[in-house]
Every structure is written in C-alpha cells, then in structure tokens.
C-alpha cells in the first residue's frame, strides 16, 4: 500500500500548459477523484503518475520514493483506461493472467540474458481466481470477450489490473463506455471493491455526480489548475470559487450579480429587481465587499415556494417575487425556471407546489445556504 504525493507537477505541450503546478497528496488507501471538464488535464496528470508521460516540472512520489525517473513497469501501479481493449481470441482467464504470465525477472546470471517467470502457475491461478471472485466473474473465466456484456468486459479489464496487486490504481473514466444504468451499478461495485481491497486509487471523471458519489475526497481541476480539494460535502457546502460552485451540484448554482450594501446592523445584496439580506454571521467577511459588485450564489434546492409549509420561514429579507416561466415535474421535486427582472433562476421545489407556468409567486431564498463571490477574483467571500 502507498500514498501518492504530487509536488507542483507540471506538463507543458509547447504552448499548452496541460497540468499547471498540481500539488496534491493522496493518502494510503484513499479513493481520490480527479474531476473537471474535458481538456482540463486529467488524463495528462494520470499518465504522468503512471510514467507514460514525462513531467516537464515538479515531482511525483509513490510512498516515500521519488518516481519521476522510474519506468512505468517499476512503479507498482495499474492503470485502467477509458478505452480498454481485451484480446478477443483469449478467454477471460487468459486476458486476466496475460500480464502476469509475461512478466519476467532477471535470474542474476549473465543479466539481462537470463530471465525466469516472475510468477508461478499456482500464484497466477490464485490471483486470477481471487480477482474473479471479487468481480463476480468466476463462472465466466472460460468465455471469450464477445460472449460477455459490456459491464462484464469492463470488469475483466479491472480484473486484469487487480491481479497485478498494485500499490496504486489509476482509473481514467473507466465507466464512460457503459450505458447509464450499468454505470450506476458498476460505480457501486467499484466502491465496494475499493473497500475490500483498500488500494490507493486515483479515479478520473468529468462527471460531477460520479465524483460526488465515489470520492473520499475530490480534486477539482480547471485549465490544468487545481481549484479545490476536499470531501464531497465540503465542496458542495463551501465551494472556494465560482468555478467549483458552478461545477459541483446539479442543476448548477444560480449566480446573480448584486451590489453589497450596508443596512441596519448588517448587509443586503441588491440585485436591482430584488434585494435580500445577507447572513449576519458572515458580516465580518462581507464588510470589505461593501459597495462592490459581487456574485450571489444560491442553489436551486435552497429556493422554496412560499406557499408551502417549509423549514425556512419567510422574513423581510429572504422573500422574492418571481415570474414562473417553465415548470418541469421530476417526481419528488419540481424544477422551475423563474425570472425576476433580468435575472433567470432555477428552483427545485417540492412537488406539492401549485405554481404553474405564467404565475407570479413568492419564493424564499434560504440565505444561510447562500454564497457570495468577489466578482473580480471569483473567489468565495463566504
Ligand atoms: N500529446 C499532446 N500534445 C499536445 N497537447 C496535448 C497532448 N495531450 C493532451 N494535450 C492537451 O492538453 C490538455 C489536457 O488534455 P487531457 O489531459 O487529455 O484532458 P482531459 O483528460 O481532462 O480531458 C488539452 O488541452 C489537450 O489538448
Ligand atoms: Mg481524458
């Protein structure tokens, strides 16, 4: 088992800085998700850790060992790719054991001419059966890949990595070729597998839902730069900047341009068409923003229909009169597109709402759950 430590890891492709001074420590046995939009540098970061791509700057440690100059096969890492390829003419057993059968070690005599098999037949057999049991593939070991479903093939690709008993797993969007239902199922299996094996894992995805459900911690990457690394709940509750606020959570957080004004013993956010009271508890943080234009962030699920009995009580500082544009029932919740002045917002309200398209209603903003961002730096004020 091992931790992975990245220190200012950088990759420049001519003018493109794919990964920019990535500093991150993945603890032993941790499941860390690296998430971000397409092209933000996830694959490049993973390939550098695996040794498939040379870093142009920074350091990679696996355990206490600096591995920048260690060849991929000596890094004790197994990587599962998005586009895994199984050998079509080989059985599941042979696909899984192939790497182990091939691996040879020097005998010490007349090296490197004399080599021997690294693993005995019995050892290979033990590892394949153990991995197959973990993955529910035991009854399929003699099948060929074309006789398997997509999900089963994906598990064989995982099995091939597991039998190597690596110190670290690197997974690059391994579920993206599966259909939605299978993806959810395999996601759960991967988490269970990680609990049982306890192998340090770095898992790459562009899907924030996948990141939220799988990660012990999530590192959010944008344009090669790490934005924030924290637990799923902390990222959701306390996004460090507007990028993370918009990326984590679905539907995305509403952002409204406001002017911060002092009022009474606190502050209000004036959006022109409406005004809301900012949380008193955050007054010290808000003070330096007085008179400035900021972005007020409020998640759709933190907006309530005032006509329904709810946990958040209406006050003079949290009720907003809005026009209902579109009402989309989703089952438990109703997604509402609402407008107020020039602002268009999304609200997720209880399905008991009577609001219909074209209505004018009052909604409550749960201001204790609101966020405020400096408009220039895009970083969170609170
Ligand atoms: N071999 C390469 N040569 C030049 N540019 C590359 C190469 N590989 C990746 N890039 C660029 O680096 C950036 C990050 O790519 P990548 O790591 O594949 O992103 P992601 O996996 O997050 O989608 C992109 O702008 C991509 O075009
Ligand atoms: Mg990629």
Each residue's pLDDT tens digit, 127-163: 999 999 888 899 999 999 999 988 888 889 989 998 9
Cβ-proximal residues to 336 (8 Å cutoff; 6+ apart), any chain: 324, 325, 326, 327, 328, 346, 347, 348, 349, 353, 355
Mean pLDDT of the chain: 93
- Percent of the chain scored above 70 by pLDDT? 98
| C-alpha 18 – ligand 1 centre gap (Å) | 6
Q: What is the pLDDT of residue 368?
A: 97
| C-alpha 83 – ligand 1 centre gap (Å) | 16
Spell out which residues line ligand 1, taking CB within 6 angstroms.
Answer: 13, 16, 18, 36, 38-44
Banded model confidence at residue 115, pLDDT cuts 50, 70, 90 = confident
| C-alpha 224 – ligand 1 centre gap (Å) | 9
Q: Which ligand has the minimum distance to the alpha carbon of residue 221?
A: 1
Please state the atom number of ligand 1 nearest to the C-alpha of residue 14: 4
Residue nearest to atom 26 of ligand 1 (CA): 39
Which of 9, 16, 42 to mutate to test ligand 1, by most ligand atoms within 8 A of the CB atom? 16
Please state the atom number of ligand 1 nearest to the C-alpha of residue 224: 14
| C-alpha 38 – ligand 2 centre gap (Å) | 7
Q: Which ligand has the minimum distance to the alpha carbon of residue 42?
A: 1
| C-alpha 42 – ligand 1 centre gap (Å) | 8
What number is the average pLDDT over the span 24-31?
A: 97
Please state the atom number of ligand 1 nearest to the C-alpha of residue 19: 14
Banded model confidence at residue 73, pLDDT cuts 50, 70, 90 = confident
């Amino acid at each position: 088992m091992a931790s992975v430590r990245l220190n200012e890891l950088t990759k420049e492709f001519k003018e493109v800085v794919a990964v920019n001074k990535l500093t991150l420590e993945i603890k032993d046995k941790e499941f860390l998700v690296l998430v971000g939009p397409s092209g933000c540098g996830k694959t490049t970061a993973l390939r550098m850790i695996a040794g498939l791509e040379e870093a142009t700057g920074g350091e990679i440690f696996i355990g206490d060992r600096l591995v920048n100059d260690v060849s991929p096969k000596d890094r004790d890492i197994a990587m599962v790719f998005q586009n895994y390829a199984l050998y079509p003419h080989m059985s599941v057993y042979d696909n899984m054991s192939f790497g182990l059968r091939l691996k040879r070690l020097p005998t010490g005599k007349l090296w490197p001419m004399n080599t021997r098999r690294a693993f005995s037949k019995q050892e290979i057999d033990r590892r394949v059966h153990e991995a197959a049991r973990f993955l529910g593939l035991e009854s399929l070991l003699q099948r060929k890949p074309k006789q398997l479903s997509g999900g089963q093939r994906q598990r064989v690709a995982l099995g091939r990595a597991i039998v190597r008993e690596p110190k670290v797993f690197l997974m690059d969007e391994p579920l993206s070729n599966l259909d939605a239902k299978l993806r959810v199922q395999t996601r759960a299996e991967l988490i269970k597998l990680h609990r049982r094996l306890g192998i340090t894992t770095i898992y790459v995805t562009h899907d924030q839902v996948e990141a939220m459900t799988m990660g012990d911690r999530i590192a959010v990457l944008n344009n090669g730069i790490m934005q924030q690394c924290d637990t799923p709940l902390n990222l959701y509750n306390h996004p460090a900047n507007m990028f993370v606020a918009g990326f984590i959570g679905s539907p995305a957080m509403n952002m409204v341009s406001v002017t911060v004004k002092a009022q009474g013993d606190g502050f209000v956010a004036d959006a022109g068409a409406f005004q809301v009271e900012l949380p008193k508890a955050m007054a010290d943080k808000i003070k330096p923003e007085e008179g400035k234009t900021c972005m007020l962030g409020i998640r759709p699920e933190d907006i309530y229909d005032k006509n329904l009995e709810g946990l958040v009580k209406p006050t003079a500082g949290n009720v907003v009169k809005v026009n209902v544009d579109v009402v989309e029932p989703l089952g438990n919740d109703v997604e509402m597109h609402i407008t107020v002045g020039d602002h268009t917002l999304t609200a997720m309200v209880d399905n008991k709402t009577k609001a219909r398209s074209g209505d004018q209603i009052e909604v409550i903003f749960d201001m204790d759950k609101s966020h405020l961002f400096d408009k220039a730096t895009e970083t969170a004020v609170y």
